[in-house]
Amino acid sequence: MTEYETILVDRKGRVGIITLNRPKALNALNNQLMTEVVAAAKAFDRDPEIGSLVITGSEKAFAAGADIKEMQDNRFPDVYLDDWLGPWDELGRLRKPVVAAVAGYALGGGCELAMLCDILIAADTAKFGQPEIKLGVIPGIGGSQRLTRAVGKAKAMDLCLTGRMMDAEEAERAGLVSRIVPADQLLPEALAVAETVAAMSLPAAVMMKESVNRAFETTLAEGVRFERRLFHAAFATADQKEGMSAFAEKRPASFTNK
Ligand code: CO8
């Protein structure tokens, strides 16, 4: 397996696990970490033995945002011409489902990274926020867009304009988080969810992810049309035949991802 310095990479069955690992900086997202997370995630995405991913951090911090010390001297022409942070968008283009397992701080880029994932599971210790305004900037990898779609304008404006943090309960009520678990159950729960997803037909899971994501990008009518085309296409897979035969024969399905 490739050597990384700012993340740990592991696999459990068909689940690829990426753990952010810059404990001294509360997993602040520097350029090296960005490059490594994107490379590791894309490698899992290409790996036929992997069906889903988990991205997690430490007990204290999922990630406390972009690395402020690294970026403080950035200049506009350089970051603009380099398309700085552009690689993060590649996480949003992963085909396989990604579970974010968030404990502690998920601030700024950390909250944005969690929102780039598909299922967000929070420990009861999680704290979410977009505090960029306190630094004189705004979010840079989709925070103002994805947070608004997730929690609505009122709460997004509240969080982004004041820079305050919200706890896991508030995040779940607002629709950012899909479930909250006790902190010591976070990784087992996230892995169980990822394993459940990875045991499904991979083509169906990828279609499902693509179809749900389409809801954020298009009109209802277009989204329903898109879903209908993929639904029809699912009948071209061996897994559809297997899934429905297994139901009729009252046995568990055994998918081949074909
Ligand atoms: N960048 C760099 N270093 C950090 C960051 C950060 N974002 N957060 C924490 N650290 C470092 C601290 O400097 C400190 O280092 P040292 O020991 O060398 O002084 C160490 O981590 C521990 O931090 P604290 O001592 O501050 O720990 P506390 O428990 O007292 O406080 C907090 C924890 C509240 C999380 C506090 O560290 C904090 O406020 N951090 C900054 C949070 C923040 O403003 N995040 C937003 C950053 S801007 C951003 O994300 C822009 C998004 C644009 C794109 C994103 C691309 C990835």
Radius of gyration of the chain (CA): 19
The domain ranges of the chain are 7-199, 202-249
Q: Does the 7-199 domain belong in CATH 3.90.226.10?
A: yes
The whole-number pLDDT of residue 75 equals 97
For residue 112, indicate whether it is catalytic. yes
199 is catalytic: no
Q: Model-level pTM?
A: 0.97
pLDDT in tens, the chain (258 residues): 689 999 999 999 999 999 999 999 999 999 999 999 999 999 999 999 999 999 999 999 999 999 999 999 999 999 999 999 999 999 999 999 999 999 999 999 999 999 999 999 999 999 999 999 999 999 999 999 999 999 999 999 999 999 999 999 999 999 999 999 999 999 999 999 999 999 999 999 999 999 999 999 999 999 999 999 999 999 999 999 999 999 999 999 999 999
| 248 tagged catalytic | no
**Which residue type does 220 have?**
L
Q: For residue 211, how far is the Cα from the chain centroid?
A: 16
Residues 143-154: tens digit of each pLDDT: 999 999 999 999
Only one residue has tokens 């951090």, namely 57
Fold assignment, 202-249:
Lyase 2-enoyl-coa Hydratase; Chain  A, domain 2 (1.10.12)
Measured in Å, residue 210 CA sits from the centre of ligand 1 at 33
Q: SS3 of 67, please?
A: coil
Ligand 1 in contact with 44 (CB < 6 A)? Answer: no
Which amino acid is it at 32? Answer: Q
Distance 16 CA to ligand 1 centre (A): 27
Q: Say if ligand 1 is within 6 A of residue 64 CB.
A: yes
Ligand 1 pocket mutation, candidates 68, 88, 115, criterion most atoms within 8 A of CB: 68
User: What's the 95 CA to ligand 1 centre distance in angstroms?
Assistant: 31
**Minimal-distance CA residue to ligand 1 atom 53:** 140
Determine the residue of 6, 20, 21, 26 to mutate for testing ligand 1's pocket, defined as the one with the most ligand atoms within 8 A of the Cβ atom. 26
- Cα dist. 151→95, 121, 175, 254 in Å? 24, 16, 6, 37
Q: Give me the catalytic one of 25, 28, 66, 168.
A: 66
Which atom of ligand 1 has the smallest separation from the CA of 107?
Answer: 45
Helical axes 143-151 vs 153-162, angle rounded to 10°: 140
The ipTM is 0.98
Strands (DSSP E) contained in 80-207 are 98-102, 105-107, 119-123, 127-129, 165-167, 179-181
Report pLDDT for 122: 98
- Specify the pLDDT at position 2: 80
